[in-house]
């Protein structure tokens, strides 16, 4: 299965699942790989970072300026009218994606770290061993 070693390693590293348990993973919710045991499933819905890649193309074509909110949002990647080839457009898009993913990943990681502090989950605590 594609990416299986990566998913097993991630489950073991990020969620402390034993490797044998992590190898039994199935998709939970929309795309969350989780082991199939009572000890293994993720006992809460995690926030996720979803990036609008079309918006990043818009930013690449507008030098990082968002015309909807009328402000500079992404990095200034150059005037697209001056791009000489597709590679320059692609590089601008990559720069916009790196900027956005940096923000999204840090925000989601903060949410995951703070979630247990603010939200109790008595039902999930009752059915989960983790």
> If you average pLDDT over each of 19-23, 53-57, 71-75, 101-105, which comes out highest?
71-75
- Helix axis angle for 86-118 and 53-61, nearest 10°, is 130
Average the pLDDT over each of 15-19, 44-48, 121-125 and give the range with the smallest value: 44-48
Q: Check whether 114 has a pLDDT greater than 70.
A: yes
pLDDT tens digits along 27-37: 776 667 778 88
Rounded distance, CA 44 to CA 59, Å? 34
What residue segments make up the domains of the chain, in order of their start?
4-42, 53-118
Give percent of the chain above pLDDT 90: 38
State residue 58's pLDDT score. 97
The answer for residues whose C-beta is within 8 angstroms of residue 59's C-beta and 6 or more apart is 65, 66, 73, 74, 77, 96
Q: Residue 44: which pLDDT band, with cuts at 50, 70 and 90?
A: low
Q: Check whether 43 has a pLDDT greater than 60.
A: no
Cα within 13 Å of Cα(45), Cβ side: 3
Q: With H, G, I as helix, E, B as strand and everything else as coil, classify residue 27.
A: strand
pLDDT tens digits along 46-69: 556 677 889 999 999 999 999 999
């Amino acid at each position: 299965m594609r990416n299986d070693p990566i998913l097993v390693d991630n489950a073991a590293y990020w969620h402390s699942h034993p490797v044998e348990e992590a190898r039994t993973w199935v998709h939970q919710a929309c795309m969350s790989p989780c082991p199939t045991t009572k000890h293994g499933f993720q006992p809460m819905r995690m926030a996720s970072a979803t990036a609008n890649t079309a918006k990043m193309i818009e930013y690449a074509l507008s030098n990082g300026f968002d015309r909807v909110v009328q402000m500079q949002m992404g990095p200034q990647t150059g005037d697209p009218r001056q791009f000489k080839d597709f590679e320059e457009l692609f590089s601008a898009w990559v720069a916009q994606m790196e900027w956005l993913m940096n923000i999204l990943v840090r925000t989601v990681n903060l949410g995951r770290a703070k979630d247990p502090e603010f939200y109790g989950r008595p039902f999930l605590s009752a059915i989960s061993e983790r």
